[in-house]
Structure 1
Amino acid sequence: MDNCFLVNHVQCYDKYLQQNLRKAARLRGHSFWARGPDNAGQYNSRPHETGFFSERGDYDSYYGRFFLQWYAQSLIDHADNVLSLASLALEDIKIIVKVPGVYWWYKTASHAAELTAGYYNPTNQDGYSPIFEVLKKYSVTMKFVCSGPNLEDHEALADPEGLSWQVINSAWDRGLSVAGENALSCYDREGCMRIVETAKPRIDPDRRHFSFFAYQQPSSLLQGTICFSDLDYFIKCMHGDVSSDLLP
């Protein structure tokens, strides 16, 4: 996990984004806010080691909120522009947008890894609703990567289940079609059955479910560890041929 602790370099330093940031700061009346954070640490810094992402850090200051809202909106606007062009060029083709799961540091207040990825989703904000409003405008399908149990990295305070629940339900609440895809590590029985519960939640009163599921095959190195009877049972559960309520 050494390369996944934070990935905390926001991507806002090319001349066009700098121009956009200066304009946004002027419109806000605080031209001195036209800068990226200077206390966000290094590439693999942990949130508590930085002044920006730590508990009660600058991410939640007036400047931090302005910057992160601008940063997230810049990426949302880019998605809007790309989908607008794609919808014109691919008029009769269903567009699928893959939303990556940035699980690391989800159990911290700042959700630092999500912030640097452009999801303005600290504990006191909902960073996915604005994204899904744009996706809804173009009637796309949102595809989310479903994690397996071994993605729960306790050192990096990851919470795959918490993030999955938030993202998938936020998309469903906005009327989006939702699909799934397995992470490369989801090949054991526990991981597969967790995906079934995510795709077809038994406690959902509206009986919502994935529109489809893309199964990524394991590499040749892992294929010998796959239990094909478990895989067969997983496929039957996804198709409704057997009930996942019978799981041990």
Structure 2
Amino acid sequence: MSIGEAEHAECPSPVTPYIPTYVMLPLSTISNENKVADPEKLKEDLDKLKRASVDGVMIDCWWGIVEGVTPQVYDWSAYYDLFSMVRDCKLKLQAIMSFHQCGGNVGDDVFIPLPAWVLRVGKENPDIFFTNRAGVRNPESLTFGIDDEAVLDSRTALEVYYDFMESFRKDMQEFLEDGTITEIEVGMGPCGELRYPSYPETQGWKYPGTGEFQCWDKYLLKNLKNAANEKEHPEWGVGPADAGDYNCTPHNSAFFEEGRKSPYGEFFLDWYSRALIEHGDNLLTVARHALGNTKLAVKVSGIHWWYKSASHAAELAAGYYNQASKCGYTPIAKMLATHDATLNFTCVELRTADETVKFPGALADPEGLVSQVLRAAWEQGVEVAAENALSFYEKSGYDQILVQAKPKDYTNHHLSAFTYLRLTPELMEEQNLEEFTQFVHKLHGAQC
């Protein structure tokens, strides 16, 4: 039986490991003006979290704020103030190097774009952004194709990321040395995740659309053409023309139905996924040089829709080459193992039965996906942390996380940490906070 497969979540053994528990701070904690927003209210909430036995908080360190105006001019002052507040409350910190845009979808109340100077470069050279087959650019993050291209005011993307992280280490050294910062999650792409921006709501994607491949900027196309020439098939140096649009289903796409199994399809999917993993490998390499021995983590997206389809179409479009005969997460885990980095995974609160009721046609299986990812990581000796995909306040969601955090299938394995998404006024309501506190105690090993 796969992890979490039971219809009703069971309580883990009373004698269980201690799993550190964090809470994500609001996206707007640091304002666009680079100030701590409402510090008095934040201090009150931090004190409540401490009384709830939470170990620490997670915070996005926005590239668009810190280096927002001028290249290589960094302003960490607001983050210094925030980190000091967290330390004064005797909490720990997980810091995210957020090299992506925040918000931009309909209904979002927070919008933090990439640095203004990067967007100016993008106006002259829009190929620095991911591009779909129709030529639509996505300014949420930079294409992997410019990792080694000196197109950002004479710096490569990897050099830009390195300089930002080195600046963080220098300005926040005291918090690294005194143990306030326990982990740094390295932003790898859209939403900080190691994936392609295959399902952007900003371009009309709606769940459960398969999404689209994102490899039509000139830099990734050059890489693809070179790979095709090495295989002595120059005609393969193009992206698939029959993979449908953002909101198609697998059976309405010739590529996802049959084309993926052709020699060209296998070549393309292998190249597409390798380019993603190479980006992660290269970025973790520069992160290790910039940040020293700090614990590093990488977030992998929980793309659970179409998981039960033969094609795993949504995963393929995002860069995870996952098939019945090929685990798409083992190569990622192997890459993370070489950097001693934690795999941070999402959607651990979701139940397959619930998703089937809500979206019966999506062939979703979050529990099966979580089981596969945990197995792939643990078999490579990689620690797995997790977070929920959507905010919730009910005991049923917490119970499901407990099953995934301390699975009976793996008596020698458990999550290395859990981060709750996210601090909201609703979470701070008395009844909700009481329920959450009980959950935290159980993650810490208390009896059920």
Q: TM-score, normalised by structure 2?
A: 0.51
Check conservation: 1:6, 1:112, Cα contact below 8 A.
no
Check conservation: 1:129, 1:170, Cα contact below 8 A.
yes
Aligned partners of 1:96 and 1:140: how far apart in 2?
A: 5
Shift of 1:92: 2.4
Map 1:1-248 → 2, pairs under 5 A: 3-54=206-257, 57-145=258-346, 146-149=348-351, 150-152=354-356, 153-206=359-412, 208-217=413-422, 219-220=424-425, 227-243=432-448
Check conservation: 1:200, 1:210, Cα contact below 8 A.
yes
Q: Which moved more, 1:121-130 or 1:140-149?
A: 140-149
Change (3 A) 1:18 1:76: same
Aligned partners of 1:187 and 1:221: how far apart in 2?
A: 8
Shift of 1:148: 2.4
Question: Residue by residue, what CA displacement relative to the aligned partner does 1:127-176 show, whole Å, maximum 9, x if unpaired?
Answer: 11111111111101111112323555322111100000001111111101
Shift of 1:5: 2.1
Shift of 1:26: 1.1
Aligned partners of 1:119 and 1:45: how far apart in 2?
A: 18
Aligned partners of 1:194 and 1:221: how far apart in 2?
A: 20
Instruction: Give the unaligned 5+ runs of structure 1.
Output: 244-248
Change (3 A) 1:225 1:34: farther
SS of match in other structure, 2:281 = helix
Aligned partners of 1:88 and 1:4: how far apart in 2?
A: 39
Check conservation: 1:8, 1:40, Cα contact below 8 A.
no
% identical equivalent positions: 42
Shift of 1:221: 5.6
SS of match in other structure, 1:168 = helix
Question: Residue by residue, what CA displacement relative to the aligned partner does 1:67-92 show, whole Å, maximum 9, x if unpaired?
Answer: 00000001111111111100000012
Check conservation: 1:141, 1:177, Cα contact below 8 A.
yes
Check conservation: 1:188, 1:226, Cα contact below 8 A.
no
SS of match in other structure, 2:360 = coil
Which is higher, the Rg of structure 1 or of structure 2?
2
Aligned partners of 1:226 and 1:6: how far apart in 2?
A: 36
Check conservation: 1:22, 1:34, Cα contact below 8 A.
yes
SS of match in other structure, 2:387 = strand
Shift of 1:220: 3.4
Amino acid at match of 1:212: A
SS of match in other structure, 1:161 = helix
Amino acid at match of 1:231: F
Check conservation: 1:189, 1:230, Cα contact below 8 A.
yes
Question: Residue by residue, what CA displacement relative to the aligned partner does 1:80-129 show, whole Å, maximum 9, x if unpaired?
Answer: 11111000000121111111101110000110000000000022211111
Shift of 1:225: 10
Amino acid at match of 1:234: F
Check conservation: 1:184, 1:218, Cα contact below 8 A.
no
Shift of 1:227: 4.2
Aligned partners of 2:426 and 2:255: how far apart in 1?
A: 41
Aligned partners of 1:242 and 1:168: how far apart in 2?
A: 24
**Paired positions, count:** 240
Counterpart in 2 of 1:246? none
Check conservation: 1:184, 1:216, Cα contact below 8 A.
yes
